[in-house]
A and B are shown apart, each in its own frame.
Chain A
Amino acid sequence: MDAINSITNAHAEAVLFYLFGGMAALSALLLVLSRNIVRTAVCLLFTLMGVAGLYFLLHAEFLAAVQLVVYAGGTLILIIFGVMLTSKSPFSKFEPKPGEVAVALTVGMVLFGALVLALHSFPFPAASPDVQGKYPLVGLGQALLGDYLIPFEIASVLLLVVMIGAAYLAKGRRHEAEDMKHTTPASKTMRQWS
């Protein structure tokens, strides 16, 4: 009982951070290394869920829920659909050449090293401030419709444009059945490229 009573908030926070952060980091690593595209997508799901957990730790609950709804429940489903529609066999693999792997590894490690060095050499504030998890949702709503109204409206217009564009792009050509009617190659080509 004494052991359980001595668990402090810092312990819990550390455990949760390493849990969610570890899940995200491990899944990201597996995402790089995996050869099967569906497994890559599942790794991305776990990365997104780990990042959502981190947002909960950072008291950004609304953002965590948005991440789960939009990213994990929307974008990822879209990606999985794309994977399923474009794979010839369920487990098709593409192997990168060894030269490319070497270059990528070098770039990755150099960049990671540089970033970590830069981060450690800058005196960021270490402790969290007194604002203990009080990000009221009202403030978020008022900011979105107040200070950030213009980006909000532009984002909505952008989403409309994206919806129309994606629907048009993905429509594909449905002229295959009519191709059979035309016998001369010229008209067939005209049909195909119209």
Chain B
Amino acid sequence: MSLLAIQVTTIGLHHYLVLGAFLFVCGLMTILLKRNAIGILMGVELVLNAANVNLVAFNYFSYAGTNGAPALNGQIFAVFVIVLAAAEAAVALAIFLNFYNNFTTIDVERASNLKG
């Protein structure tokens, strides 16, 4: 009963931005730590999601436009990011499949043919 008496801070822009930063950093660490190429792709998707969260949070909190026609720029930006992320994932997977067909492994450490 007393739990509900706690004054809850209104969820503001800061909360969403910190969450976005955390997702971004997790994605970055995935890209750095994974040796499986598809794992790296998943890290990239995480980074893009973090950026999207930022965009949509800014769209909701920074008010620009009238009440009849609120600003939609952030959401449209995010829609395009999602579309392009899907396209890029498709091409990346096609490249990885080709790599796997040639080298029978998906380990990026083995992709060192052009070294030296």
Binding site for B on A (CB under 8 A): 3, 6-8, 10-11, 13-14, 17, 21, 24-25, 28-29, 31-32, 37, 40-41, 44, 47-48, 51, 54-55, 57-60, 62-63, 66-67, 70-71, 74-75, 78-79, 81-83, 85-88, 94-96, 100-101, 103-105, 107-109, 111-112, 115-116, 119-120, 124-131, 134-135, 139-140, 143-144, 148, 151, 155, 158-159, 162-163, 165-167, 169-170, 172-173
B19 CB to nearest A CB, Å: 5
> Do A170 and B25 touch (CB < 8 A)?
no
Pick the most buried of A32, A88, A158: most chain B CB atoms within 10 A of its CB. Answer: A32
Tell me whether B94 and A170 are in contact (CB under 8 A): yes
With contacts A125-B13, A169-B94 taken as known, whether A115 is within 8 angstroms of B23 at the C-beta atoms is no
Say whether chain B's binding surface is mostly helix, strand, loop, or mixed. Answer: helix
**A-contacting residues, B57-106, CB 8 Å:** 57, 59-63, 65, 67, 69-70, 72, 75-76, 78-80, 82-91, 93-98, 100-101, 104-106
What is the interface of chain A mostly: helix, strand, loop, or mixed?
helix
B binding-site residues for A, Cβ under 8 Å: 1, 4-5, 8-19, 21-30, 32-36, 38-39, 41-43, 45-46, 49, 52-53, 56-57, 59-63, 65, 67, 69-70, 72, 75-76, 78-80, 82-91, 93-98, 100-101, 104-107
